[in-house]
Structure 1
Amino acid sequence: MEAKNVKPGNFARLVLILILLFFYIPIFILVIFSFNSSKSPEWTGFSLKWYYQLFTSSRHIWRTFFNSLIVGISASLISSIIGTLGAISMYLGSKKFKKILWTTTYIPFVIPDIIIGVSLLVFFSAIKLQLSLFTIFLAHVTFSIPYTMMIILTRLEDFDKSVIEAAYDLGATSFVALRKVIIPIALPGIVAAFFMAFTLSIDDFVITFFVAGPGSTTLPLQIFSMVRFGISPVINAISTLLLVGTIFISIFLRKYVRYII
């Protein structure tokens, strides 16, 4: 009796489903147990007391959350500006210049985070810069720039340079062409780059661990310090809220980019 041939499409679909289940089941369990009435890993009943405790008795968590928010927004804004300028220079530059800049920009993608964190710590110590939220901000700008630059460059490369040349032929100056042609073309990429940098910043632990000073704890560092003493349902609650916030940003970003394209 001959074995039935398994279609490649069905096999690939099955593998994809298993991978998605592997990724999403732990997240689903975390969300469910954020509503558990007890600290035990077994379901004992529905309760919102961990969310109540998060909003009423966890000032230290909210302080670290606002630290992450301040660093994330400011670092994302600066890295998006620098990434935009870098992407435009690569887009309009010569092939040789583009190749050199592309290579130097690509290197941070393959360098382990721990090496970046240690090197930044050594650098800040060498220039005698005290570790604080400012050093975290500088570190987050540093590792976010390659991502923002590549995202914006990908957007620009979808358009022909003849559009810019046409603007010059119609009498536009370099500044006018930048403001009225290049920036509007790159705008969806700039928005996407900003939110990508923000996600990377607010989620980063390894690099932040090395460059954070006293009183400059971010949310990932706070969660790590809490996990060392056992998994608290409060961590499940704040993780659930972060998950909901991330989904909301993703939906907003998708609709916004689709609207302005």
Structure 2
Amino acid sequence: MKVSEWKEMIAQAKLWAIEAGKEQLKRMDQPMDISSKTSDIDFVTEVDIWTENFLKERILDRYPDHALLTEESGVHSGKADYEWVIDPIDGTVNYARGLPAFCISIGIRYKGETVAGLIHAPKLGETYETIKGEGAWCNNEPIQVSTVYTLSKAVLGTGFPYDKATDSDNNVEHFSTMITQIGGIRRIGAAALDLAMVASGKLDGYWELKLKEWDVEAGILLVAEAGGQAEVFPEPKGLSVRAGNKEIFNILKDQIKR
């Protein structure tokens, strides 16, 4: 294991994410260029692009042989065994609308395995970090998944894909199945934050369809290191995700059939 290397990299990622987050907050209430990608509500802003470029420059300056997988520019190949998986703003719609639920998500892979992750939510003032085998933290305090094991008392998170109006595989059926059985449901609008909130016990479980690697890379490890369980599996239009404390996860696995 190369835990000392992973710790050094996540410490650097934290510094860079906090610096980028300050710039995001500075620009948040200013006029910005916003364009659509796959649908009218699949936004990208000039701040997404700025943040991604900022992080890429910092990473490649310090680790020039490392590979990158980023939301806006895709793959940057590298010779080393490390790959950084970056979502510069998860929750861009929230960010563009002035809502506080957005974050920077950075996952680090070593030989294809996720070994470290960071989720920084500047408006919420929360920074989540994790290293494989070393636990999970928020703002330097250890975190654990919840101990709510009864579905009728559980608060779950979910989301809906951008093509929900044109594809019947849009989570509506799953939502209808779950909503009458649970204590409450939350639609945060940022998958990385959903997973961070499962890891910290704010949510008891979470599921979503048609996500991308950069949405979940850091959060999946965060949940596992906080004592929970998470599952990601590829489907034709993206990744499906289930996560929670182990009891709620098993219920979701039984209820959310894929």
TM-score between both structures, scaled by the size of structure 2: 0.28
Instruction: Pick the structure with greater CA Rg.
Output: 1
* Higher helix proportion: 1
Highest relative contact order (Cα 8 Å, sep 6+), 1 or 2?
A: 1
* Higher strand proportion: 2
TM-score between both structures, scaled by the size of structure 1: 0.28
